[in-house]
Amino acid sequence: MRFILLNPGPVSLSEGVRRAATRVDLCHREPEYFEVQDQVIEGLLDVYGCDSGQWAAVLTGGSGTSALEAMMTSLLPAEAHVLVAENGVYGERLSRIAAVYGIRSQALRAQWGEPINLDALDAQLATGEFTHVAAVHHETTTGRLNPVAEIAAACSKHGVSLLLDAVSSFGAEAIPFEEPSLMAMAATANKCLHGIPGLAMVLCRREALQQEIEPRGLSLHLPGWAEHQARQSTPFTPAVNAVLALAQALAELRQQGGWRARRARYMELAARVADTCRELGIAEWIPAGESSCVLRSYHLPVDLGYDELHDGLKQQGFIIYAGQGDLASKLFRISTMGEISDRDMARLEQALKTVIAG
């Protein structure tokens, strides 16, 4: 059975990307591979028009979390003190990474789903105690889009650097690369970029890679990967097939009009799902204007448990996603990333009506 994935990554692939992943068998020490690696690095910088003199795109292998881990462990000096903005699972994960590596951090905590308190952020930064802020752009726990432009502006005002989890926003939401405070952002191939899983990446300012920081690990050490990638090399075996797929996915993103066009498409699909749910008496968890274009969360229907809803939709070929932690009994999530046609959407609308209204 063909499934349409409405979970927040991995996504349903286009035929072109699916084919590209297994197009050819490549040795990662041959020029044919490095040609594709170079294309992907250039393509990643191109998504938001980043100047390659100032910015580097560094590829590593792994999940989105490994991109976050690579970013934090490679770019935070020993004396860093990080303020972590938390309002969901992924903000808390940033704090967890800091704790695991003994990086000094403090949380600026909001309830899951609540907005980040920007006044409190400003006040904390005004104390002069913090060297860095770590924040999540799109908090996939609830679909809330955190105000990254305002967060970056507060960091710039206080001379603090920002490390951004853009795992579920890179390729589909505005990212303030022009803000001097934005030092680095982490992403993955299998969310808004529509590639296959296995490839994690960090876009960072070149000067961030040149800091003299004692490596905290080997395989996630970004300066090592970057140094090799700059001279058509690789320190370890890369996710070759994921790189092949991402080259094609980036070409398709370009052909489709870039991140702004992708955002518009996601917005349209999210609105269609929300309209259908509203007709069925199901309210959104976060107001539409504060949600990302990527994912929305909805109150579970009173007379239908998550498992019934999930299984009913799965029978019709759609995979939705549960809430995390305490939210598991309260909400469900629908992401409209990935290759989803208008026909798929019409079928989804019908499936929601059948499963929910019975």
Ligand X SMILES: *Cc1c(COP(=O)(O)O)cnc(C)c1O
Nearer to ligand X, 57 or 187 (CB): 187
87 is a contact residue toward ligand X (CB under 6 A): no
CA distances for 228 relative to 93, 197, 209, 232, angstroms: 29, 22, 13, 6
Which of 33, 55, 90, 225 binds ligand X (CB under 6 A)? It is 90
Which of 165, 284, 339, 344 binds ligand X (CB under 6 A)? It is 165
DSSP assignments along 271-340, one per residue: HHHHHHHHHTT--BSS-GGGB-SSEEEEEPPTT--HHHHHHHHHHTTEE-EEPPGGGGGTEEEEE--SS-
Which of 73, 124, 142, 188 binds ligand X (CB under 6 A)? It is 188
- Alpha-carbon distance of 243 to 245, in angstroms, equals 5
Residues β-bridged to residue 199: 61
The answer to whether 24 and 244 are in contact (CB under 8 A) is yes
293 is a contact residue toward ligand X (CB under 6 A): no
| Least distance in angstroms from the C-beta of 294 to ligand X | 8
Residue 257 phi/psi, 5° resolution?
105, 10
- Alpha-carbon distance of 79 to 88, in angstroms, equals 26
Which of 14, 39, 63, 117 binds ligand X (CB under 6 A)? It is 63
Nearer to ligand X, 43 or 64 (CB): 64
The residues in 113-152 that bind ligand X, with binding defined as CB under 6 A, are: 136, 138, 140
The answer to whether 41 and 57 are in contact (CB under 8 A) is yes
The residues in 324-353 that bind ligand X, with binding defined as CB under 6 A, are: none
65 is a contact residue toward ligand X (CB under 6 A): yes
9 is a contact residue toward ligand X (CB under 6 A): yes
Residue 177 phi/psi, 5° resolution?
-65, -20
Nearer to ligand X, 63 or 106 (CB): 63
| Least distance in angstroms from the C-beta of 130 to ligand X | 21
What residue ranges bind ligand X (CB under 6 A)? 8-9, 63-65, 90, 136, 138, 140, 165, 167-168, 188
